[in-house]
């Protein structure tokens, strides 16, 4: 079941308050339209009744898609610095519903689910689009790190992310994007061959892959925020 909570939201442009339904959970198997809305960037977009400017609610929900083997905890982009705490919170929620604490029937479903934690709308869209394209999100994060080595310059700064957005023939499309405003700052085309090279040389990439996938927050950005879970524990 997909759950929504009625609430009053404030337009960030004119400060007018209005009623809206904020998502608490998405079941994409029963509501594939919601999955499509995430992919086309229309989900949770509100049109202000006063100034008529569109704005988007912050994401804070759990996403279930058994058909695509996904369970994703989605948080606001501003929570990323607390990713270790968020990972624990998300895993508790997953274990209660589909993991170690779940009833046998639910646990059987959970055994086939890939668990992820993401921060912000561009991140959840990326995970869904990658699965639809049949690409490995861990390899994509390694490719991003590889690109940072190759690019002469990159607009890398707090709140600015490199996100995969699509593929056509042998060309992958990435964007530098603001995680909170979703403003695209720069576009980047990448040959599919670079992705395939990582797959074919899996052994040499294994240590870095282990770092990127140390927890359900599978994202190169975890490497820039402290020494990781092992050091924290």
List, for residues 202-220, the tens digit of each pLDDT value: 999 999 999 999 999 999 9
How many helical (H) and strand (E) elements, i.e. helices and strands, does the chain have? Answer: 8, 10
Q: What is the pLDDT of residue 157?
A: 78
Helix, strand and coil in the chain, % to nearest 5: 40, 30, 30
Taking residue 162's Cβ as centre, other Cβ atoms within 10 Å add up to 25
How many CB atoms neighbour CB 43 within 10 A? 21
Helices (H), the chain: 32-39, 83-97, 104-110, 121-133, 137-150, 192-200, 202-212, 228-232
The span from the CA of 77 to the CA of 179, in Å, is 6
Whole-angstrom Cα distance, residue 136 to residue 19? 39
- Residue 172 pLDDT class (50, 70, 90 cuts): very high
User: Where is average pLDDT lowest: 8-17, 75-84, 90-99, 154-163?
Assistant: 154-163
Are 100 and 89 within 8 A, CB to CB?
A: no
Residue 228 confidence (pLDDT) above 80: no
| Strand, helix or coil for residue 62 | strand
From residue 210, give the alpha-carbon distance in Å to each of 95, 142, 219.
22, 10, 11
H or E segment at 25? Answer: strand 17-27
């Amino acid at each position: 079941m997909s759950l929504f909570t009625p609430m009053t939201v404030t337009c960030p442009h004119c400060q007018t308050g209005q009623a809206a339904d904020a998502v608490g959970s998405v079941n994409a198997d029963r509501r594939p339209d919601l999955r499509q809305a995430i992919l086309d960037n229309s989900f949770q977009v509100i049109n202000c009744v006063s100034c008529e400017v569109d704005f988007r609610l912050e994401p804070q929900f759990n996403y279930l898609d058994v058909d695509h083997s996904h369970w994703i905890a989605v948080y606001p982009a501003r929570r990323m610095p607390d990713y270790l705490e968020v990972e624990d919170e998300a895993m508790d929620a997953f274990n209660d519903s589909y993991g170690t604490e779940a009833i046998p029937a639910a646990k059987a479903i959970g055994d086939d689910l890939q668990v992820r934690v993401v921060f912000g709308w561009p991140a959840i869209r990326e995970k869904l689009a990658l699965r639809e394209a049949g690409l490995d999100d861990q390899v994509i994060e390694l490719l991003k790190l590889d690109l940072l080595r190759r690019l002469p310059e990159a607009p890398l700064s707090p709140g600015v992310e490199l996100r995969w957005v699509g593929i056509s023939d042998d060309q992958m499309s990435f964007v530098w994007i603001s995680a909170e405003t979703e403003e695209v700052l720069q576009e980047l085309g990448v040959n599919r061959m670079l992705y395939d090279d990582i797959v074919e040389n899996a052994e040499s990439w294994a240590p870095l892959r282990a770092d990127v996938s140390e927890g359900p927050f599978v994202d190169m950005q975890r490497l820039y925020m402290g020494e990781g879970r092992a050091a924290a524990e």
